[in-house]
Structure 1
């Protein structure tokens, strides 16, 4: 894809790279507004996977032959690309995992199982994704550590005064989402990192909804750990990244054992490979890792500042259009202070029913609790509908969303 020159995205040109957007259902071209769950994949990323399997499919780090050498170089350079993309110091700080969920579990078990015990505390937020909440909740049960939660205000923001009281010298880990996948709230993760470090605590930032759509600098945030998923940033499924400060990763024991993560093995003991391979046991997702680097190339060619601006403008437009409907309740911050998604409910229409009717119009949204059941309980709702936007979405598609919502309302009014 040629580099975009103007400040605004050439969305029609971008859409040409995504063949799935040409699909039709019930005579309507698909309107894909479920990007917070998974983004679509452009041709250059698809081609990178095909190129690997067609031309140099081989296992990495295990062969002297040409194919293995080519695969190893491409896979290692993918780590370099992702490290640079989020501001890490180098590949030593970039571990490839399957997704953000696995990254959370890696840190919880490789670090937390050894470091946490009775009297220790883990502080989360009330808007955490289950990937964070359930992982640390269950680790707390295993280790005896207490899990506490930073409250969410009625406006959809974190209560930072409460955070300063909750994070104490007993806190060993703060795990917080960078951008809420339900509320669209952008949390002050740098400020939370400062508070955590003042109490000698680590901070883990869930960047699944941030890395795909805005510039991220893990060193500026001063995160100890930062995780993201490839399938939310025009990459393939089954690949994600975990950033960790090198000295912290060095001190941690491996989470998985087996091939490729070892340096020397005897019948009595084993030693571990250098970072990041120490945490990548077995044959990795080679093609997906290489394709994730291709996804980064694609996004950098567009420019992450413009990706963020486009998403936020669409979210603001959707917020305003849905607010005009009168009987729509929207959750989270105001229109001009949210990430690229809108969660809402229509009076008298269950979110699942709404999603089903929208599907008849070929409008794809998400309905349910979005892996934030406790947050939905706090909001007093069983489920919500969520429209989330990306680089290939348009205002016209949001108009189609609102038209479909009107049809749903009329249907349930009969």
Structure 2
């Protein structure tokens, strides 16, 4: 995307002195590009670890931010822990030292009202297929003054203003970052998905999913020998409508396969594109049940009932 260009913000290249702060709970898509930046520029990557509640340690993040920090790149909602970060505070701390904030909002934009002005992030990314839209497309939001200061990262048609034999001038954002033929069909599909979600109302979706999230977490706690990852919902601590978990001595892939084949219940198993997070938790994989606005509490009941049967089945062979 524009990660290389982020290194050029300001009067001088940030080679050798760029400090990027992330959390250990980032999706691979918000880790690997920064590793490539570090390899090319000598940037230093620092990771915020988890606190005793199983969520990224916000106090630790605040302490890490200093005048050497140039980029804070974090998720809004964790795709494994279901934790929600206080982005407005993080943006305030980062901006106080002149750093920029890139927000991975792939897990928040489809599930809650997200206002880039109130969050005050410099960049925000989201993905269409998480939003009931087609695959292969997403979007990047950036503050206009920052996008205008950035050079294009791809060359081709539609990103230019004028072309001469010895040089070219570039279109204004966002066109200068959209070289070549756009994904027209996918963009139309994404627009339809946005209209659909907006018609339901993002606050309505959020309020409903919050109720489902609490019901899912509470229901899963009744399963014997289960470990649920992420913070326990209570008071101001809220979770997204998903739970990643493991059951003692049963591989998560075995759980997912049995649920699918014997009960017609679909969950995900694996590392969920969060291998560093799994390593920090001392596991190689986990199972994950995810809900959206189209689910109801009866779906949770069916899932938990099937999960208990699955656990009993595997325990019967011990």
State TM-score, norm by structure 1. Answer: 0.73
Equivalent in 28, 31, 44 of residue 133 of structure 1: 31
Equivalent in 328, 332, 353 of residue 254 of structure 2: 353
- Residue aligning to 2:3: 108
Cα deviation code 1:204-252 (max 9, x no counterpart)? 0000000001000011011000010011011111111100000000001
1:6-405 alignment, distance < 5 Å: 106-112=1-7, 115-336=13-234, 337-360=238-261, 361-405=263-307
Report the Cα distance in structure 1 between the residues aligned to 2:290 and 2:44, rounded to whole angstroms. 34
Assess if the C-alpha contact under 8 Å between 1:113 and 1:139 holds in 2.
no
More helix by percentage? 1
RMSD: 1.3
Assess if the C-alpha contact under 8 Å between 2:227 and 2:245 holds in 1.
yes
Report the Cα distance in structure 2 between the residues aligned to 1:377 and 1:367, rounded to whole angstroms. 15
Report the Cα distance in structure 2 between the residues aligned to 1:125 and 1:405, rounded to whole angstroms. 31
Q: State the secondary structure of the residue aligned to 2:302.
A: helix
The 4+ residue runs of structure 1 with deviation greater than 6 A are none
Q: State the secondary structure of the residue aligned to 2:125.
A: strand
Assess if the C-alpha contact under 8 Å between 2:216 and 2:241 holds in 1.
no
Assess if the C-alpha contact under 8 Å between 1:175 and 1:203 holds in 2.
yes
Report the Cα distance in structure 2 between the residues aligned to 1:347 and 1:318, rounded to whole angstroms. 19
Q: State the secondary structure of the residue aligned to 1:407.
A: helix
Matched, 1:407 2:309: yes
State TM-score, norm by structure 2. Answer: 0.94
Deviation at 1:113, TM superposition (A): 6.2
Cα deviation code 1:107-162 (max 9, x no counterpart)? 21232267431122111111111101111122112110100012221312332222
Report the Cα distance in structure 2 between the residues aligned to 1:113 and 1:137, rounded to whole angstroms. 16
Cα deviation code 1:26-56 (max 9, x no counterpart)? xxxxxxxxxxxxxxxxxxxxxxxxxxxxxxx
Q: State the secondary structure of the residue aligned to 2:89.
A: helix
Report the Cα distance in structure 2 between the residues aligned to 1:327 and 1:335, rounded to whole angstroms. 19
Deviation at 1:200, TM superposition (A): 0.5
